[in-house]
Structure 1
Amino acid sequence: MGQPGVTEVQEQPSSEDMRLDAEKHHDKPETTFLKATKDGIPLHPQPSDDPEDPLNWSPLRKHAALIVLAMESLIIKFSNTVIAPGAHTLAAEFGTAASTASYIGSAPSVLYAFAPFLWIPLSHRLGRRPVLLFSHIVAMVAAIGVGQAESYSQALGCRMLMGFGGSAGLCISTAGISDMFFLHEKGTRLGLNGMLFVVAPYVGGIAGGAIQQNESLGWRWAMYIAAICYAVQLLAQFVLVPETIYDKDMAARETPEQKKTLYRRLGFRTPTPAPGETWGATFRMPFSMFAYPAVVLPCFWASVCIMTEVANTAGLSLNFGTGTRFGFSVREVGFCFFAGLIGSALGEICAGPLCDFFVKRSLRSGKEWVPEKLLKLFLSGLFATFAGLMIYGFTLEYVKASQWAAPLVGLSLFVFGQEIVVTVLLAYMTECYRDRAVECTIVFQFFLNLMCFPPPFFTPLWIAKHGGAKIPYIVYALLPVAFFPLCIMPLMWKGEAIRNRGPMLEFGRRGSRSRTRR
């Protein structure tokens, strides 16, 4: 079969199907054989017999590609915050206020909302592999440009270009992981991607604080190190991540000898577009998923739930650094990012395995699996983010300088909930519309980064002028609670019917076409 650990199990058809089949063929009724794991779990989707089908890759090959693809989120978000602890240093360098200097770290997030509308259609036409490699070259060159900047406008402009290049990996990596793994495996694998997505800003802050505190390095080397990370990731992408789009028609035309060549593994394979599909139709395709309530509603709610992510990371320097009652150095501000690191790790210990547990229990029991069963896990994420934001806001305002750990506990609890929300959302969406996984991820990235973009600009002013930190964070904590009955409960109640109904509006291309299993 090509898939290690896979056996064939027999699926008995219904008695009515057997009777009709026998009457039709006047012969012994046929049975259907499904490929399954050694434990008897049917494989969804069913892989082909081609060993070069990504679903049939060896565990080593799959997981090497998985690690590199998951590292996309880490590198991209890491490069965003590696400069964040030095807001006061940047302000002195460029002659601006510290709050304005912090935009160099936070402003590029808006590109993560819009740039995928270019990258994703290109990946459908050219393949995931060449788009990822090219986008990394753009981000790497831009990072060097930030390190060379002599003015605030130059630094901000190059940072925006970094956001443009890096944005491709945030969506394409999720689709690539979905291409390689089965339903009962994806919770943990997407959970790894989700964990690195959530933890990356905090890793960047920790590293950035240490780098910028070193007088022989400084903030410029923070960007050079980001460029080095992009270069290493580019090399790893080239060597370890083949094209994950599987085109059955193209594979059928290849000989066994061709499939074994090094070029077959490391070269570019342009996907075959659907008959009659124009470039215009391809570029319209990502927008079509905005008409699907089963995608838009949870993406919007998750974005509201975790919209303070960028404000929290960009604000650590403003809330704990020089001039505050805490008076932390740049390195000590970097250490504050450990709170997010701990929260993310604990969140993933719960989120990914729980998703896989729900799936395996349902498949083993023979019950029909519906993705809506995962939505119950959102409740734990909602509680954790609500409690974390409330603790962070109140303690940031009221605790003494010696009690600095209290707000960081709140931040850690928020990140714990964020990790659960992101993992469950990715697992849910990629099962609702597996053949449109990359477009679903675009919707999530659009709402998330659009919602994350404004808070870093007005939250510091809100804290300074309107009653301290408790007011904005009470609002931030209550918003996801208010939207939960409107966005998630309808899917928990009638989600399968809503999903099967498809789009609310018809525009662009009608229907969906599998990009991975033509």
Structure 2
Amino acid sequence: MTHGQSGASSASQAENLKCSNSETSAHLENVSPTPPHPPSESLDSWVSEDPNHPRNWPKWKKNAQILMVAFHSMSATFMAAGIIPAYDDLAKDYGVTVPEASYLTSIQILLLGLVPFFWKPITSVYGRYHVFLFSAFGCMICNIGGARCTSYGAQMVTRILVGILISPPMGIGSGVITELCEPEERAQKIGWWTLMLTLGTPSGPFIMGFVSKHLGYEWIFWLFAIMNFIQVIVYLWIGEETMVPADNIDYPKAGAVKRGFFSKMIPRRLDSRPLRAREFIEPLFMSRYSRVIVPAIAHSIVFCYGNIALIVEMPIAMGEKFKFDAQQIGLQFIAIIIGCVLGEQLSGPMSDWFMKTMSNKRGQHRPADRLWLSYIGFGTVICGLLVWGFQLDKATTWNVTPCVGAAIASFGNQIITTIMISYAVDSHRDQSTNVGVCINLYRHVWGFIGPFYFPHMFETLKFAGAAGVMCAIIAVVALIPIIAIQFMDTRSSR
């Protein structure tokens, strides 16, 4: 329907227009179209008119909240993997085998995937700020207990409690980022979160290898507690609630109006509705969407073989083969850290630039365009794993080539991590928190299973054969489904 030029309408035209609008409205009441793709998102539609809305905070404040949740996620994987260099000493002092000592890490990996299902409904009622604050404080207490433990059973209890308490940002972090960052910077900011999350696994054993050798493994847990203490101070200093209360109920008290130091620590309901049992499994229902389950499985497979396998098996791959101590094993993780940091430069800022260019050219936002860059990740992770495996088998003394392969694989893994999560969030922006919790579950459950069969696989097939098997699984279970979902997504949006 088109309007006439300004000042040229007549009474009869106005009457006809009124009748036409009435007919159109009546027709729309009977028809509820459901477009196959989310509507194009613009910066204008993203910005809220409410001056108290978190989206209207200064940029430094929004970035600070994003970095805080990113560091919180990193500390979760950092603490799970940080005890890897101390397996031998822990096994000796606790009177268990090294594989049994490794369960202290495995149980945390599993809990980091499962427990966010519990925290997500809690945050929807009481907000995220107090959950994050309680998470950091509770972990600090448990890590102090871990430093004082003298038995395997007691240490297992502290690791279970840490896994439960530290897990909130692992799933709901995507919701914080999606709600605070501009659409044109979404992949970059999600990249901050995924990079920190990924860096936690190699940087934990890298740093704690020095600590374990020179100070003793007890100081690993003391340093964990110090990290948590710093988090508590930062949350009390600049932390704010980023969730908007339902129907803007009591929003000034929950949002931008500054409160006293002690009143800020008192939890307040942001939603008056009662919690339902269904909400604790609601994120799992996102699995019914192909644009969530396919990238979730692809990311989980690649993350397991391009990150967890390299890190968890490092004491065997490098330690036993070359007779390394805890500090020397820790140094090998530098390659993985370098690969992750370089990979994020391509997957974050360049991904956003690519999406903006394609949207301007086509005139519409298409989430599937982001998947084009994922093929660089698939190619490099497969190449890196093969270099790592074959060079490690050939080596009789230490050389840098297996580490180069690990760096290349980590480069590809980081690209795929950011691209897959960004694509899933782009496709279901209104369910970004549920998407994050769902993907987090698949990633950590598959990562938890891996260490149980990795030693047998490497022993039977050697490193080269195992690398070939992992690359074949990535190609069949991850790469081919992504090609298929991009083809169908692109075709249906024409």
Q: TM over 0.5, yes or no?
A: yes
Asked whether 1:428 is paired with 2:423, we answer yes
- After TM superposition, the score normalised by the length of structure 2 is 0.87
Residue deviations 1:326-349, cap 9 Å, x none? 121211111111011100111011
Distance 1:181 1:93, change over 3 A: same
CA change 1:362–1:311 in 2 (3 A) is: closer
RMSD: 2.8
1:356 matched to 2:352? The reply is yes
Pick closer, same or farther for the CA change 1:46–1:212 going to 2, 3 Å. Answer: same
Residues 215-234 of structure 1 aligned to structure 2 (within 5 Å): 217-234=215-232
1:468 to 447, 462, 468: 462
Question: Structure 1 residues 24, 103: CA separation in 2 closer, same or farther (over 3 Å shift)?
Answer: same
Where 1:401 maps in the other structure, the secondary structure is coil
Residue in structure 1 matched with residue 287 of structure 2 by the alignment: 290
Q: Deviations over 1:272-297 (max 9, x none)?
A: 267xx752243242222122121011
Q: Which of residues 244, 248, 251 is equivalent to 1:246? A: 244
Contact 2:174 2:190 in 1 (8 A): yes
Consecutive unaligned residues in structure 1, runs of 5 or more:
1-13, 27-40, 501-518
Residue 45 of structure 1, CA deviation? 4.2
Residue 102 of structure 1 and its aligned partner are, at CA, apart by 2.4
Partner of 2:24: none
The change in CA–CA distance for 1:291 and 1:44 in structure 2 (over 3 A counts) is: farther
Q: Is the 8 A contact 1:385 1:418 kept in 2?
A: yes
Q: Residue 267 of structure 1: CA displacement?
A: 6.1
Give the whole-Å Cα distance in 1 for the aligned partners of 2:254 and 2:313.
Answer: 56
| Alpha-carbon distance in 1 for matches of 2:15, 2:283 | 45
Give the letter for the 1:60 counterpart: W
Q: CA deviation at 1:225?
A: 0.5
Partners of 1:76 and 1:488 in 2: CA distance: 29
- Residue 412 of structure 2 is aligned to residue 412 of structure 1: no
Matches within 5 A, 1:279-428: 279-308=276-305, 309-321=307-319, 324-365=320-361, 367-403=363-399, 405-428=400-423
Gap change, CA 1:140 and 1:498, over 3 Å in 2: farther
- Structure 2's unaligned 5+ residue stretches are 20-40
Task: Name the CA shift for 1:179/1:241 in 2 (closer, same or farther; >3 Å).
Answer: farther
Write the deviation string for residues 413-450 of structure 1: whole angstroms up to 9, x where unpaired.
11111110111122112211112111101111111111
Structure with more helix by fraction = 2
**Contact 1:320 1:327 (8 Å CA) reproduced:** yes
Give yes or no for contact 2:241–2:254 (8 Å, CA) kept in 1.
no
Letter in 2 for 1:482: V
Q: CA deviation digits over 1:245-273, x for unaligned, max 9? A: 1237326x656999533359776453326
The CA deviation at 1:22 is 9.6
> CA separation of 1:205/1:22 partners in 2, compared to 1, >3 Å: closer, same or farther?
farther
Q: Partner residue of 2:174?
A: 174
Q: How many residues align?
A: 464
Quick one: distance in 1 between partners of 2:63 and 2:192?
11
1:121 aligns with 2:121: yes
- Say whether the 8 Å CA contact 1:85–1:205 is kept in structure 2: yes
Structure 1 length-normalised TM: 0.83
The yes-or-no answer on 1:142 pairing with 2:142 is yes
Distance across 2 between alignment mates of 1:17 and 1:141: 71
| Distance of aligned partners of 1:191 and 1:255 in 2 relative to their CA distance in 1, 3 Å threshold | closer
How do residues 191-206 of structure 1 correspond to structure 2 at under 5 angstroms?
Answer: 191-206=191-206
* 1:69 counterpart residue number: 69
Cα–Cα, structure 1 residues 150 and 256, in superposed 2: closer, same or farther, change >3 Å? closer
